[in-house]
Amino acid sequence: MTIEHIRLSQQAKEQLIRLKRITGIQNWNVLCRWAFCVSISEKERPRVEKIQSDSSVEMTWKVFGGEYHEIYFALLKERCRSDGLELSGDVLSTQFKLHLHRGIASLSNKQMKNLPALLAKAIDQPQR
């Protein structure tokens, strides 16, 4: 395991607060799982950018993934492999952070009004 702790940006925290309010999903980790899965299902790689880990929202990898943390890690590795990236700890950690933040931003767009909209977004993602 190369990812031990996850800390979100302040912007991602604010987006998650909005998502919690409109969906009724109260746990950060559950929303983060949705966001990660939405992002890895997109065809394009996430844009490489410096993401500040400046919020008070943090969790361990096992809290993020719950009982399926190994499956989420395998999904991350497979996505990196299919993107032609090496599977080093730094690359995996960076790609996870990029996917997580892209997914949170995607889920928190202005069209997201309620839980059914969240479900529709997750189901309608394009296939790779």
CATH at residue 112: 1.10.1220.160
Could you list the residue range(s) of the whole structural domain that residue 98 is in?
5-44+54-123
Chain-centroid distance of CA 125 in Å reads 14
Q: Is 104 helix (H, G, I), strand (E, B) or coil?
A: helix
| DSSP secondary structure, 24-42, as one string | ----HHHHHHHHHHHHHTS
Per-residue pLDDT band for 62 (boundaries 50, 70, 90) equals very high
Domain membership flag for residue 49: no
Q: What gap in Å lies between CA 86 and CA 116, rounded to an integer? A: 37
Domain-embedded: residue 66: yes
Domain membership of residue 128 (yes or no) is no
Does position 107 have pLDDT exceeding 90, yes or no?
Answer: no
Identity at 33, one-letter amino acid code: R
Mean pLDDT of the chain: 88
CB neighbour list of residue 70: distance below 8 Å, 6 or more residues apart: none
Domain count across the chain:
1
pLDDT digits (tens, 9 = 90+) for 22-42: 888 899 999 999 999 999 999
Rounded CA separation 5/55 (Å): 13
Provide mean pLDDT across the span 71-95. Answer: 96
What's the confidence (pLDDT) of residue 128?
45
pTM to 2 decimal places = 0.87
Compute the Cα dihedral for 18, 22, 24, 29 and give only its sign: negative
